[in-house]
Structures are given as C-alpha cells and as structure tokens.
Amino acid sequence: MDCGRYAIKRVLGEQVVVQAVVFAEGHDRVFARLLYRQAGQEGWQRAAMEAMGNDRWEGSFVVEALGYYEYTVEGWVDRFGTWQEALEKKYDAGQAVGVELTMGAALLGEAAARVGGEAAKELAQWAEALVGTKDENEAVAAALSEEVGAWMREHADEEAMTRYGRRLRVWVDRALAGFSTWYELFPRSCGRGAGKHGTLQDVAAELERVAQMGFDVLYLPPIHPIGRTNRKGRNNVVKAGAEDPGSPWAIGGPEGGHKAIHPALGTVEDFRELVKRTRGYGLEVAMDLAFQCTPDHPYVQEHPEWFRWRPDGTVQYAENPPKKYEDILPINFETEDWRALWEELKSVVVYWLGQGVRIFRVDNPHTKPFAFWEWLIEEVRREHPEVMFLAEAFTRPTVMAMLAKVGFTQSYTYFTWRNTAYELRQYMEELTGTGLAEYFRPNFWPNTPDILPQYLQYGGRAAFVVRLVLAGTLSSNYGIYGPAFERCEDRAVEGKEEYLDSDKYEIKDWSAGERPDISAVVERVNRARRENAALQRTNNVVFCECENEMLLAYCKVTEDLSNIVMVVVNLDSHHRQVGWMRTPLEHLALEAHQPYLAQDVLSGDRYLWQGEWNYVELDPATMPAHVMVLRRRLRREMDFDYFM
C-alpha cells in the first residue's frame, strides 16, 4: 500500500495472503518464499510460496499477536529444481543420465558443506543415493522425489537469494476491531422523569437492556463540562434559554476541559464504576474524542496561541457554511507551539486510558492534520495495542481513506445515503473488491445524532427495519444512535436531515409519547450476527441476481462453507415486492438437484428451496427482510422433525 508506506490491517487469527511476481532471465527454474515476523523479533519465520503460473507466486501466514508484523519475499534461481527438470526430460527420452546424476550429487554435496549439522548428513545420504547405486532407475527415482527437492529448497544458498527491498507491515488489532456492534446514547437523557438530567449511574441502569439487545460497545457522546458563552438552545437556535443544557460537543467551562466530567453527570469515580459494570455485561465504553473548545475552556486562557485569532481581536469560530458553530473554537494546529499542543492532546487520551477506556470515537478527524493522527495513534499503540479509534469523517473519499491509512481502526461511511440496490451493490464492491479492503474497515450507521436521512424521515417503521438489516448484515461493524432508532424517531427539521428536538441540544425523555418500538427486531438481528460466523466479516459478501430491483439479495459464507446466510431486503418500505432471485449455487457448494432449507431468523419461518431460482415475497407491513440460514443438505430422507 503506497509502496509500503502504510500498514495493511488484520485482526487476531486472520490470514495474510501475499502474492508476488518472481522471475529471472533465461529458462532456469525459480523459487520463492515468504518471510514474516512480529516487529522487533530478530529472526524470520518462513513459509513456502506456491507457483500460480505466469511468474506469480502466493504464500500466507496467520497473525497471532497484537501489534505490527513485518513481511517480505525472497526469490532465487533453483539450481537443483532446474537440474531435476532437465534430468527428467532426458530420462523420459531414454537418454543416458549418468553424468546428470553425478552433477546432482555434486549440488547436494555443496549444500551439505554449506549447512553442516544433521541437515548435512541427510543431504549427503541423498547424494549417495544418486551415485552409490548401480540401479539407475532407483537413482533417478530418488533424484526426482519431492522429498529431496524440499530438503534443497529448505537449505537453499541464502547468499544467492534476492530479497524484496522493503519490509512491508501489517497492523494486528483485537477481534472487536473486525466485529463490533455499537449503541449510542446521551447520558443526560437517561434520567428518570421529564427534564431530569441523567447521570452516569442512570447510564449504568441501561446496561442490562443494551446488552440484552446484543450490543458490545456503548458509545457516549462527550461527557465533559459544557461552555456557557454562545451556548446553543433547543433545535440549534443561537440564543439559549436559562435551562438549556447546550451541546455536549461544546467542550470546556470553569469546571474544566477534556479531562473533566460534567458535574451533573457525576464524578470520575462514577465513570470508573460505569466502565467496570459495563465490562460485567460484556460491553465496552467508547468515549468521544472531540478536539475543539468553547471560549470558556481553560486552554483558551492558558494557551491562546493554540487558537486562530482574527485581525479585530476576535477568535475564529468553527463553521461549515451555511452551518455556524459559534459555541466552538477550532484548535489551530498550525501554531508555532504545535509540539506542546500535540503532547497535551495526547495527554487527554492517556488520561482516559487511565480511567479504563480502550475505544475512542473521534469527532471530525478530517479537520486535523494527518501527521498529528499518525503520531498520536502510534504513540498510544506503543503501550496499548488494544486501543481502537473510530473516524467520524463524512468527507471526500480520498481523505477518509487517508485517515484509515494513518491508523484509524474503523471508519464511518457513505452507507447512510446509499438506498437503491444499485448504489448499495456498487458501494459494497468498492469497499470489499478494491485495495480499500486491506485497510479501511467500514462501520455502518443508519443514523447519528447529526443525521436523520430522508429514507428514515418518510419510510415509517419498515424503513428502520430495512436499514437495520442492511447495516447489520452487510458490514461486520455497525452501530445505531439507539433510543431514536429503536423508537423510529422520524421527525426532522424542515428541509434538513437533522432531528427535530434533538438530544444534541436538550434533555430527552424517551419513555414519553407513543412511538413504534423495534428493539425486538434489533435483538434478533444482533443474535443472528453472534450466532453466524458468516456475518462476522464484511469482505465475504456475494450479491445475487434479482428480477425486481426493489429487492436486494446477497449471501455471506464462511471459508469452510459451514455457515451460509442469505439476506433478501425489500428496499420499498411502503409496498409489497415480489420476484425471483438466483442463489449462486456454485459459490455455496449447493447442488441444483438437491433441496436445501432456508430458515429465517427474523420470523422463524422455514422454506424448502431447490435449484438456482426461487420466489421471494416481502411485505413491509409485516417484515421487509429475510435473514436466512441455509442448510446445505437434509439430515436424512423423511426426517420430518427437521422441518418442524
């Protein structure tokens, strides 16, 4: 990737498959091997590479520890293998091969002298087998055996090898980086009663419910003190009322900055207890990392040089026209005091590591220098390779890709705005079928506190189920802005993709009012993800032909074909859609003449399918999607219990 400038990514236990073009002038046989090791180790581990034809070779290794691995490729002219080929041709042609056998014995003798020890004895015995027997047929059989060829490749002359000039790298994350399910909520909206400010202890009371739905990451927006200057009111109005709590992303006040907790939420001790209790439910806390300040932040008084000031003496507020963020001051990363700034921001991360946080969702990383993120992430991982960073960057594709290259573990994506079958197929093919698959880990979010897409505004309950199923089955990492999504909240600011009466600017009481509730469907989707290994990867998606473009069908399968999941989604959240879809039998090792069972984990229904083309009918009034586990063969004929 970029000529080895950046590392590709894997999680523990995954395979790294390496291909190389290895060739030499002339007709001599060449050979190649893969070298790999954990960074910092002295010696290399070696793996043979297999010839794929046309000078291409392939080898692989499995990553078994967190942190960096290094790998490269060696190639050499295989003198012994070339000799074997020539010997075989002459022997098959009925020509005398006595001289050739003597030459082969000499090659074996040279190798024995070079390596010494027990290997030398073994090679000497092979040399004797070539010239020490009167039966030429036996000698040729020994000379052409794969065993002697393997010995010679194992003990090839390393001084005659050519090594690729770069040490390429792999960064290895823990398993959660490759398969995670995120739930976002605002702690201040967890209070009991209308308008009551929630606390971290109230968040702890939500843990059992979140865990029961099948989530493993609890993401909290900023929990720091909120500034008073230019505080935003309800629905992002410029002037706040006396009781308006402001936006959590407007960080910093007299109570402290990025290392402080909003007094109404509780104390650092409360936070540590929350982290501890979260782990008890099989969850982890993800913390928001938003490097921006209010005018009331201590940094503004202590380090005015870290901010950009205008000619009239006022500070440059953050803005993204036509949006204005008068309550936020962007940090000036071009300050001459940048070294001290970088170290201070690193200390923020280190502080929360000390409180037990190991996952950070980073707000707007694309507005800060790539060099800063590369340095910060590398510094943190040196001591804590288990730490994960999610990049919240809805921006240009090249910038999003660059953030992934410099070290971000996962990335927000354009999934939020991909609605048609064509758009979804094209986007998934981009994410999984190009070089992005080696380093860009997508995390699909149907909604966020900032974004209520039009599809959800006008699609009703079924639209939320559709986007849930798509996010949870297309990507191995996905998340929801929880209470709003569960309750199918679709009220938007007129003409915008923003929530009306948003959590961002007020304390919400999600128990109030009559709204749909799809938490049971969320639980079923997450259970399917946990129970089916095929859904725990992103890059194994295969799209299926459908006669109806309102139906999107795709399957996911494990490498050993032990788990096959077929998903069919009605993208029209208002109308029943029907059609015929083609099951890719050749990809799934299914036989056209043999029936196979499709069990829907959402509805519990079972279908007996056979052949390539099968009929599908999905009514959004009941359930707009199938998530079906396919069983490749029946247990035995007349096994009626199997269908019950």
Fold of 182-534: TIM Barrel (3.20.20)
Higher pLDDT, 526 or 590: 526
On the 0-12 / 13-18 / 19+ scale of CB atoms within 10 A, 73 is buried
Mean pLDDT of 325-345: 95
Fold of 2-172: Immunoglobulin-like (2.60.40)
Is the separation of the CB atoms in 512 and 448 below 8 Å?
no
How far is Cα 130 from Cα 128, in angstroms, rounded to an integer? 5
Mean pLDDT of 276-291: 98
How far is Cα 479 from Cα 471, in angstroms, rounded to an integer? 8
Q: How confident is the model at residue 634 (pLDDT cuts 50, 70, 90)?
A: low
How far is Cα 201 from Cα 199, in angstroms, rounded to an integer? 5
Least confident of 115-119, 160-164, 176-180: 115-119
Question: 217 in helix, strand or coil?
Answer: strand
Tokens 């297999």 belong to which residue?
50
DSSP line for 494-555? TTSSSBTT-TTTS---TTSS-----HHHHHHHHHHHHH-GGGG-STTEEE--BSSTTEEEEE
The reported pLDDT for the residue numbered 642 is 38
Domain pair 182-534 / 540-643, same fold: no
State what percent of residues in the chain have pLDDT above 90.
Answer: 87
Higher pLDDT, 387 or 132: 387
The reported pLDDT for the residue numbered 390 is 98
DSSP line for 46-101? EEE-EEEETTEEEEEEE--SSEEEEEEEEEEE-HHHHHHHHHHHHHHTT---HHHH
Query: What residues are labeled active site?
Result: 363, 392
The reported pLDDT for the residue numbered 641 is 43
How far is Cα 350 from Cα 347, in angstroms, rounded to an integer? 5
Q: Two tokens at 574?
A: 């208002």
How far is Cα 528 from Cα 551, in angstroms, rounded to an integer? 21
Q: Is the pLDDT of residue 357 over 90?
A: yes
The reported pLDDT for the residue numbered 644 is 33
Q: How confident is the model at residue 142 (pLDDT cuts 50, 70, 90)?
A: very high
Higher pLDDT, 354 or 644: 354
Q: How confident is the model at residue 515 (pLDDT cuts 50, 70, 90)?
A: confident
Q: Which of 208, 251, 209, 196 is nearest to 227 (CA)?
A: 251
The reported pLDDT for the residue numbered 633 is 60
Q: How confident is the model at residue 639 (pLDDT cuts 50, 70, 90)?
A: very low
pLDDT in tens, 551-584: 999 999 999 999 999 999 999 999 999 999 999 9
Q: How confident is the model at residue 324 (pLDDT cuts 50, 70, 90)?
A: confident
The reported pLDDT for the residue numbered 253 is 97
Mean pLDDT of 62-75: 98
Q: pTM here? A: 0.93
Higher pLDDT, 49 or 153: 49
- Residue ranges of the domains in the chain? 2-172, 182-534, 540-643
Mean pLDDT score across all residues of the chain: 94
Beta bridge partners of 569: 552, 625
* Domain 540-643 CATH (choose: 1.10.760.10, 2.60.40.1180, 1.10.30.50, 1.10.10.10): 2.60.40.1180
